[in-house]
Structure formats: structure tokens, C-alpha cells
Structure 1
Amino acid sequence: MYVTAEQLREQVIRPTLEYLGAWNPVSEDFLLEAAIAAPELGLFAARKDGLGLFHITASQHRDIWDRYLAFRPELASRIRGLASQRAFLNNPDSELQTNLSYCTAIAWLLYQRSRSGSPLPVHQHEPVAQASTLA
């Protein structure tokens, strides 16, 4: 199956950000750039143990649940709503590989937490440069 950048944007990234109440053109552009143009940079660096579209490690995945979502039950419930019923319980990390919306949501939360509330850059192509400083 072949997926274009625009399909990824329109069918995965935008709906996921809208579902989280976090959509804006800059956040959408950032995640698209992170997925297609910057896998070697920063927070979403390609790693041997990275999973899914954004190369999220199992330890990053557990950490976002244990140290971030555990203290935000409403948000945790929304994120959990994106995951499969049984697969998530048996192997939560597999959701990063098989569920694009879930993986995108986790990527967005990792980015948000790393930014500590700082706003996204205003210019369209600036997010990739910013991402390199997050590692």
C-alpha cells in the first residue's frame, strides 16, 4: 500500500489532532515533517528500537503513560479510545506499529511534553529545525 504525504496529513494527522483538540496548521505541518522529512532528528530520531511512523521507543511510550497521562485522566481516556480493545492490553507497544492515529497522538504528546508549553514556531518549515534540539 502506498500512502502519500497528503493522505497522511488529511486522513491521519489532521483527524487525530482534531480529536485531541490540538489541531492547527502549524502542529499539522510539524507532525507531517517529523513523519516524512526528519526521522534522523531529535525527539523522533530513527532508532533500532523505535516503533511505527515516528520511531517512538517502548521506553518513551511507557514514560508518556506513566509520567504524563497518569496525571491527566481525561486525556488518557481519549488516547486509550484510539487504541484497539484487546491488542493494547496484550502488547501496548504494537499500537505504535499498527495504529497510525494512536501513534500520531503519542507523538504529539511526546512533543508537547518536551516543549513544556512553549508555542510551536510560526513559520511552516521551522519545526524541523526546532525538533533537532529536542533530543
Structure 2
Amino acid sequence: MGINARHFRQYVVRPTLQEMGMWSEAAENLMMGIAATESHLGEFLKQHNDGPAVGVFQVEPATAADVILRYLDEREDLDDRFQDAFRLLDDRDLDWGDISLDRITEKLVTDLRFSCAVARVRLWMVPEPLPAAHNIPGLARYWKQHYNTAGGKGTAEKFIRDYREMVA
């Protein structure tokens, strides 16, 4: 059994997105759906079959490093929001180049807000706008196309089912 969905939304997802200035009802619902379908709201913190993804949002550490080291480095406005809101790795003056994949992996597994922030920034990089907040099939398709990818084993149908069972 995973984390209580109402608590996860109220104490992790919504405040994380709000502090980053990336909140919308659609973004919140998408993040809840991702956590539900990727990890059953935290029931699984490591990808099945020894895959690299970890944490509630099943982010691959290499993807997180790319988000942090490449995208945030190019977007100072987001870099500042990301660091200030979450005191990334407990150091406001962090040198991004000093982050190891082991440390990123640890943070993705143990820090719910960090994991949520990385997953949200990853989706912020996508130029396509989010579907409407209550269009769960649309959010499922968006997740499949931009987060799970065409080669991923997840399906939009599973996202919808997991969302309805665990979140709605």
C-alpha cells in the first residue's frame, strides 16, 4: 500500500508546485497520476526488473542529472526557484557540477518534494501545453508521450485505471 493520496496531494505535490511557480490544477492532477501509475503512490521505490528509475515518480537518475545540469543551468530563473524552494541537497550555494548520480538517486528515493520537483521540471521542458485538469485520458496520453515514452511499458489505459483507483 502506498501513500495516502489526499495527503500526498496536500502536503507534497501542491505545495511543491506552488513554491516553484509551476502549479496548475492540470499539473497537480498529472503529477498525482504519474505517482499513481509509476509507483502506486510510493509502494514501489525502485523500478521493476532492476531498471534505473527510482522514487515515487520513478525518475531515472540520469534524467534528473540532465534536468539539473543541462536544463536548469540554461534557465537561471528556474534554477533559482528549484534551489531556493527545496534547498537542494541542503546547500543553497550548490555547485551543480559536484552532484553525483548516487546522491541524486538517494534524493529521488528519500525526498518526495525533490522527486516531485524534478519530475515537474522534466515536464515543464515539453513545449506542448497540458490537457485540461479533469481530462484524465488526455493527461494519460500526455504522460505516455512525454514522460513514459513510446518505448516504455506503461499504457494510457493503465494510467487512467491507476488514477481512478488511487487518486480520484
Gaps of 5+ in 2: 40-46, 150-168
**TM-score normalised to structure 2 length:** 0.67
- Structure having greater relative contact order (Cα 8 Å, sep ≥ 6): 1
Residue 84 of structure 1 aligns with which residue? 89
Which whole-Å CA distance do the structure 1 matches of 2:81 and 2:8 have between them? 21
Larger Rg over CA atoms = 2
Gaps of 5+ in 1: 41-45
Residue 18 of structure 1 aligns with which residue? 18
Residue 52 of structure 2 aligns with which residue? 49
Contact 2:29-2:133 at 8 Å conserved across structures: no
CA RMSD of aligned residues (A): 2.3
1:50 is paired with a residue whose SS is coil
After superposition, give the CA deviation of every residue in 1:62-92 in whole Å (9 maximum; x if it has no partner). Answer: 1111220011223213222312326x85723
Residue 129 of structure 2 aligns with which residue? 119
After superposition, give the CA deviation of every residue in 1:73-127 in whole Å (9 maximum; x if it has no partner). Answer: 23213222312326x85723311111111110100011111x22x2110152121
Which whole-Å CA distance do the structure 1 matches of 2:2 and 2:142 have between them? 29
Residue 62 of structure 1 aligns with which residue? 65
Residue 34 of structure 2 aligns with which residue? 34
